[in-house]
Chain A
Amino acid sequence: NAGVTQTPKFQVLKTGQSMTLQCAQDMNHNSMYWYRQDPGMGLRLIYYSASEGTTDKGEVPNGYNVSRLNKREFSLRLESAAPSQTSVYFCASSAAGAFEETQYFGPGTRLLVL
């Protein structure tokens, strides 16, 4: 099992460009998440999908959109990138989103917006 995979690993964008970060999990999990990690701020939740067909905003959703393509895949789109979106992005999944569950994280995508 690969667990949670993310592509690309690293990306450089110019301000105003768009891109989609891809995430897939092979654990048959219902719930998936997108976080950003910034120095000195820990991880912050951008969007989550409790189950296939549903998505909801997290703590910092502005400037992002998401798509839960199917049970396996959950993508994050930046429509018009800004330097403030320079960050490391992590995708995670969990079985059903219950409060005590373990979340499984991908290796991350490092994004630099110039």
Chain B
Amino acid sequence: GNSVTQMEGPVTLSEEAFLTINCTYTATGYPSLFWYVQYPGEGLQLLLKATKADDKGSNKGFEATYRKETTSFHLEKGSVQVSDSAVYFCALSMNTGFQKLVFGTGTRLLVSP
């Protein structure tokens, strides 16, 4: 079946450090890819997405590129802030039929001042 694999957390960084959170997927066909973020005590919210190979999603300084050849969608940010501390989920949905998101296990990011 379709699946998403994320790097284990927590990822601990100092403010202004560079962030990478790895995400790879397995899918029969061509999925759309998403990054959702969950701040403490809240529900998930969409951070960015890409619907086809080589697309780059970006939002709030975060970006991720859909790499079909490596089946990856790694999340990056050049300079993290304390307010970026959250859990980040990579997810996919197949580009046919009704949307059913398949989530990775989530990666917790902790940013210290």
Binding site for A on B (CB under 8 A): 4, 32, 36, 41-46, 49, 51, 89, 93-101, 103-106
Contact = CB atoms under 8 A, between A and B. Distances in A.
A15 B99 CA distance: 33
Contact of B43 (A42, A90, A100): A90
Interface residues of A, number: 26
Interface string A87-114: 0001010100111111111111000000
Given A99-B93, A100-B49, A100-B51, A45 B43 contact: no
Contacts of A97: 98-99
A90 B99 contact: no
Given A42-B89, A42-B103, A100-B49, A108 B98 contact: no
Given A40-B105, A99-B93, A100-B49, A48 B44 contact: no
B89 A43 contact: yes
A98 B99 contact: yes
A101 B44 CA distance: 14
Nearest to B50: A100
20 contacts: A41-B105, A42-B105, A42-B106, A45-B101, A48-B100, A90-B43, A90-B44, A92-B43, A92-B44, A99-B32, A99-B97, A100-B49, A100-B93, A100-B95, A100-B99, A103-B46, A105-B36, A105-B44, A105-B45, A107-B43
A50 interface: yes
A76 interface: no
A31 B100 CA distance: 11
Contacts of A45: 100-101
